[in-house]
Amino acid sequence: MQPSIIVGFMTGFGAMAFAILIDAGWALHAITAFFQFSAMLMIFGGCAGAVTVSFPVSYLKQIPVALRKCFLVYKEFDLVEMSTLLLSLSQKSRQEGILALEAEIPNLTDAWLRRGLQLVVDGLDRNVVLDIMETELDEYMKRTGIGAKVFASLGGYSPTMGIIGTVMGLVHMLANMEDPNKIGEMIAVAFLATFWGILLANLVFLPIAERTKAKDDELATVRKAMIEGLLSIQAGESVRIIEEKLKVFMDPDTLERFNRERGTAA
């Protein structure tokens, strides 16, 4: 579990609850007053219907994948581990020849790295390997980006569904104005739909979409580094040169961890 997203949700919703308590004079029942079943039903039901119309079923199956990216730590995104492995392969290639790497292919846990290394060992031209791997990367990123698109759409639909819920509540209020004492309460209930629609869009759906996209970009960086490393191994470049090339893909924190681990390994 990634703690940052839990902290983010707790901070966001906690701030909302704190603000409600301040306005209500620290009356705890004020928080429960914001949970209105019909408003929530309108938003979640409306959004579910909208995305079902907008996307095919194969796209909707990516929702759990996107949620796992957001909440769980993905080992495949570890650029340091990938770079270390590529440098190890480079060292073996320099000492024993490129064909010696074929014995390492079954031991690789990353299917994409196995395929790329197999292309290199098979002796394909550099441009051919580059074209194949870049094309596969583009198609792979299109598929993995579906989850972010779905949640971004939910973020767009949610406020609209909230407004629709508010309009429905106001229509219901106008149709039942016999008791003026209930008008204020009915207006408050009607606007809860807009409140939840905007809140869920900006605190849940859109942040999940952005975080998923960030994870996809992180994966793309790892894959690009992998391509560069494999092509450098194929070209017979020194381990030092390959290491410097891989460092280009690292942010300062990742680079610091990489240098620390390389220093420990040395």
| pTM of the predicted model as reported, rounded to 2 decimal places | 0.82
d(CA 26, CA 33): 13
Whose CA is closest to 98, among 246, 259, 237? 237
Q: What is the pLDDT of residues 185-215, one digit of tens each?
A: 778 778 888 999 999 999 999 999 999 998 8
Q: What is the pLDDT of residue 29?
A: 75
Structure tokens at 93: 């290639």
Whose CA is closest to 151, among 62, 253, 261? 62
Instruction: Return the amino acid letter for 51.
Output: V
Q: What is the pLDDT of residues 102-133, one digit of tens each?
A: 999 998 888 889 999 999 999 999 999 999 99
